[in-house]
Amino acid sequence: MSNDTKSNGRGKWGSRIGFMLAASGSAIGLGNLWKFPYITYKFGAGAFVLVYLGCIALVGLPIMVAEMMIGRRSGLNPVGAFKKLTNRRIWVFVGGLGVTCGFILLSYYSVVAGWALEYTVKSVRNDFANHQTITDKDIGAHLFAEYIKTPKSKSDPIKAGYGSELSTISFYDLKSPKAKKAFLAKLAKAWGEFAKGKPEIYAKLKSNTTASLLDAFQRGDDYSSRKLRLQRSLWVGALFGKFVASPAKVVGWHLLFMLLTMLIVVGGVSQGIERASKILMPLLLTMLVYLVIRALGFSSASESLAMIFRPNFHALTIEAVLEALGHSFFTLSLGMGAMLTYGSYLSKDESLTTSSIVITALDTLIALMATIIIFCAIHAFKMPVGDGGVSNLFRAIPAMFQETPGGNWLTVIFYVLVAFAALTSTISLLEVVVSYFIDERGWSRRKATLLMGSAIALLGVASALSLNAWANFKPFFGKTVFEFFDYTVSNWFLPLGGLFVALFVGWVLPVEAKRDELKGLPAVAFGLWHVTIRYISPLAVAGVFVWLLYQSIVA
């Protein structure tokens, strides 16, 4: 394979292993470390893993082959690729959708990625060990806050009369999650109105209730360990809240992460992206293996492994299947033009199917390793799983690792790992945008990286500020800038991009071209892939698209 060309900044991968590591790095991101363990825990563990592997085979792998096929066949960016292969406007628009998706996704992804840098510094300073600053008063306030947002019996003062519309409702009689969520919202509102309308009664009630809750907490079994665990959890939560509330810190780390991304991409394909991937990916894998070994040393490791790998099909629901389907698609960086762009730098003598199998296998392996770490930690330290948000990476993990010998350095390693995983993804997203301006506008790589990287970083500042200074600024249908970007990319751009890739390769790209790109693949294997990319994958992605829309409407 040749090195980067000097004329226009477009290049080629220097080696097969370099390409595979870079493409795997693009696929392996924050979702592998937080979302997959969470949804595995939520949807029945072992059975969910089996369904997920099936979805990878039927959706993820075929579309990855298709996306890289478009890239290598054209040797161009997403817009140029569709323009060269068909030049019909609808398909050129699909290419533009991929570039736009990469631009917007990187702008807010780098904000969260920057958190990993802040938490690496916090870990080195051992900030998480200062949990003794959490007093009994803080614990009491936490217990009361949990109390007022939890459904109670009819003896609850709000249900007993201060919130008459709630007094006849039993939370436990409500069947649908939507109805229960609405009930809890009304309950919280009633408490708020009670506090404003009857401040003296509320103050006395709060004081007495807090004292009772704290007394019950202190009288319970194993009080010392429960107090220590709660102190650590509250302290880590307070640290996270304080950090996210600081515009200067969130924006600063975001800009630094974008700078690191730009420094790698400006170096080109083989000298920048490939070289960085050859360093970052082995380090990432080494750290993961070490953390897995440590996790397997926890007392509850056998219980955790049994839960992950022992199927419980009774826990499976249609929601679980659709979640597995959706994640199998999103986890591989499909629909955003990253695999298409990386495929455009791939030489003709490389096997698309072999490369895709290795990439999907590595991505799945890392997701399972992360799941083992999280499950073992949750069971060992009896920590709550949380709501599945990415913030769990920065709330639950530090509290968990503080309970094990050498936990501080485990935390350091973990956040360096998170930063590396995020960086391998951000460089692929920036490369999608940069390749467009190199191919279509004739820009040099340096100019494209500097201008587009700066523009993305500037847009990301809006997402960063929407977490703090602009938190109440919700111009997009009641959503902040960050929420709107995430919603648009996750629910529209990515599924539409993947759907169009499957339809294009399945129905528009000539069969001869597909056979030429998959030379050496047995006829039976080619036939199976062709049927899958024509029928099964598009229907599956369309199903995910409809499911995401349904979820957003219900929410």
Backbone angles phi, psi at 268, to 5 degrees: 100, -175
Range from 27-31, 78-82, 84-88 that averages highest in pLDDT: 78-82
What domains sit in the chain, N to C, each tagged with a CATH number? 16-131+232-554 (1.20.1740.10), 134-231 (no CATH)
Cβ atoms of 58 and 537 within 8 Å: the answer is yes
pLDDT at residue number 168: 46
Q: Is residue 216 classed exposed, middle or buried when 0-12, 13-18 and 19+ CB atoms within 10 A define those classes?
A: exposed
Q: Is residue 139 classed exposed, middle or buried when 0-12, 13-18 and 19+ CB atoms within 10 A define those classes?
A: buried
Q: Over range 211-218, report the average pLDDT.
A: 87
Closest CA to 304 of 313, 294, 318, 314: 294
pLDDT (tens digit, 9 = 90+) per residue, 150-188?
655 445 554 444 444 444 445 555 556 667 677 667 767
pLDDT (tens digit, 9 = 90+) per residue, 442-458?
999 999 999 999 999 99
pLDDT (tens digit, 9 = 90+) per residue, 512-549?
999 999 998 999 999 999 999 999 999 998 988 888 77
Which residues in 34-50 are b (16+ Cβ under 10 Å) and which e? bbbbbbbbebbbbbbbb
For the chain, what is the mean pLDDT? 87
Instruction: Using alpha carbons, list the distances in angstroms from residue 282 to 21, 112, 193, 417.
Output: 9, 23, 56, 11
Q: Is 476 helix (H, G, I), strand (E, B) or coil?
A: strand
pLDDT at 361 over 70: yes
Map tokens 């529209």 to a residue: 492
Helix (H) or strand (E) holding 381: helix 352-381
Cβ atoms of 331 and 498 within 8 Å: the answer is no
Lowest mean pLDDT among 44-48, 108-112, 343-347, 358-362: 44-48
pTM of the full predicted structure?
A: 0.88
pLDDT at 555 over 80: no
Map tokens 């936490």 to a residue: 142
Structure tokens at 515: 């056979």
Asked whether the CA dihedral 13, 15, 19, 21 is positive or negative, the reply is negative
DSSP 479: B
Asked whether the CA dihedral 2, 73, 441, 482 is positive or negative, the reply is negative
Q: Over range 59-77, report the average pLDDT.
A: 97
The confidence band for 4, taking pLDDT boundaries of 50, 70 and 90, is: very low
The confidence band for 5, taking pLDDT boundaries of 50, 70 and 90, is: very low
pLDDT at 410 over 90: no
pLDDT at 237 over 70: yes
Structure tokens at 448: 């494209």
Give the Cβ contact number of residue 155 at 10 Å: 7
Q: Over range 390-411, report the average pLDDT.
A: 80
Of the CA atoms within 13 Å of residue 258, those in its CB half-sphere come to 28
pLDDT at residue number 149: 66
Phi-psi region of 268 (alpha: psi -120 to 50; beta: other; left: phi over 0): left
Lowest mean pLDDT among 81-85, 260-264, 318-322: 318-322
- % of the chain surpassing 70 pLDDT: 90
